[in-house]
Amino acid sequence: MVREAAINLYLAITKVIFNLFRSLPVQKKTVMIASFGDNIQYVLDEVHERTSSKIVLLKDSRCTYNFRNADDRNTIRFVPVNIKGSIRGLYHLATAKHIFVDNYQVVLASCDFREEQTCIQLWHADGAVKLFGFKDKATIERTPSAQKRFKQVYEKFHKVVVSSDDMGWIFEEAFDISHGNLLKTGMPRTDFFYNEDRMQRAEDKLHRQLPHLKGRQVILYAPTFREGRFKVDELRLNIRNLKKGLSEDHHLLLRLHPAVTLDGEWDNDFVTDVSCGYDIFELLAITDILITDYSSIPFEFAILGRPMIFYPYDLEEYVTTRGIWFDYETFVPGPVVYHSSEMIDIIRREAFRLEKVLLFDETWNKYADGRSTEKLITTLYKDAAPR
């Protein structure tokens, strides 16, 4: 109740401030509210290169991304405790022609945008396994006041960028939006996987940082974070058995949530922790085999046509507590295992079912072609310079 009251007070104050600035003219300006950053970065670069629009970057409390081409004078820490930054941010939101977001932003509930303004949701995943939005089980249990607020935020998404028709209907369900709200240009950050130069630079960079990976088959384990599980042993990954069961030609990279710590015996000759300080998409460039569970990473990794193994050791519990969009075992593009021994067997036999990866890519990256950012900006900015 206290949290709800605090949020409602915050929104009441921001609404008053926003409406004061709303009387000012809309300017040729682009505002980006970032939680994650990667999609925002691609859009920022394209807007900077092809338009004369002023760019203002608002970084929320979750954003740690270091942006290129961002003017420090117009980069604002957009958090409630930063009163000056919050007021500046609301001014820019009230007077910008284009507003991009990459996550749920509660402040949008208090923003009554004008007809000449467009708010675009980039989101932070190319596809979805876990339920979210109105379909999230936690959302269903929230108070009527909270649900009304969610609706007010989702209504501000004039356009939602998608890479596929399947993700389109998921957004329609999750945000209760119409099909006409969808922009089928492809997610901007998927451009990375079609750019051979960027991929090669990422590979070269990581081989300089991690020279022991060169010439070895790289296995990336990137599980979804589980509440209350803060040690790798609790993720039921038997590193010792993997090391024993696989040859010296293999190397395991661990991409864990920052809250999860490695516990027990592990060996740098076989395992490298890449949870912090490494870009996930650069890591995917050097990954030969991806092991994951409910993460959205496979949707983009499928573009590369490389093997995946799915390790949902707590599937029944996860489906009950969080919920998923599809029947898991028939949906994922690779073998499903529940024990490390099964994992070892599949890697040894190379029983990866790559035909499922190719079909998965065709379905979920239908509109991604390496020109997604270009198409998005061409669609939204009528004065954008041609490529």
Per-residue confidence (pLDDT) for residue 263, from 0 to 100: 59
User: Could you tell me the CATH superfamily of domain 196-364?
Assistant: CDP-glycerol glycerophosphotransferase, C-terminal domain (3.40.50.12580)
Averaged pLDDT, 42-65: 97
How far is residue 181 from each of residues 135, 254, 318, 363, 378, measured CA to CA in Å?
18, 38, 31, 20, 17
- Which residue, among 374, 367, 369, has the nearest Cα to 45 in the 3D structure? 374
Q: Judge whether residue 43 has pLDDT over 70.
A: yes
Predicted confidence (pLDDT) at residue 215 exceeds the cutoff of 80 = yes
Q: pLDDT, tens digit, for every residue of 233-263? A: 566 788 889 999 998 899 999 998 766 666 5
Averaged pLDDT, 305-328? 96
Please state which of the ranges 27-31, 223-227, 248-252, 381-385 shows the lowest mean pLDDT.
223-227
**Overall fold of domain 2-191+370-380:** Rossmann fold (3.40.50)
Q: What is the pLDDT of residue 237?
A: 83
Local confidence band at 264 (pLDDT 50, 70, 90 cut-offs): low
What pLDDT is recorded for position 231?
A: 58
Per-residue confidence (pLDDT) for residue 266, from 0 to 100: 61
What pLDDT sits at residue 272? 92
**Percentage of residues in the chain with pLDDT exceeding 90?**
86
Task: Grade residue 387 by pLDDT with cuts at 50, 70 and 90.
Answer: confident
Look at the block and give the residue holding tokens 């269903």: 140
Question: How many Å apart are CA 23 and CA 108, to the nearest integer?
Answer: 18
Share of the chain above pLDDT 70, in %: 95
Q: Is the model's pLDDT at 60 over the cut of 80? A: yes
- Say what the pLDDT of residue 235 is: 64
Query: Which part of the chain is CATH 3.40.50.12580?
Result: 196-364
What average pLDDT does range 107-117 have in this prediction? 98
Rounded to the nearest 5 degrees, what angle is found at the Cα of 61, between the Cα atoms of 58 and 67? 50
pLDDT of the residue at 1: 75
- Taking a C-beta distance cutoff of 8 angstroms, is the pair 60, 78 a contact? yes
- pLDDT tens readout for residues 130-140: 999 999 988 88
Residue ranges, comma separated, of all CATH 3.40.50.11820 domains in the chain are 2-191+370-380
pTM for the full predicted model: 0.94
Mean per-residue pLDDT over the chain, rounded = 94
Comparison of pLDDT for 266 and 309, the residue scoring more: 309
Do 166 and 127 meet the contact criterion of CB atoms below 8 Å apart?
yes
Query: Per-residue pLDDT for 129 more than 60?
Result: yes
Position 230 scores a pLDDT of 47
Output the six-digit token pair for 163. Answer: 């890479």
CB 188 within 8 A of CB 36: no
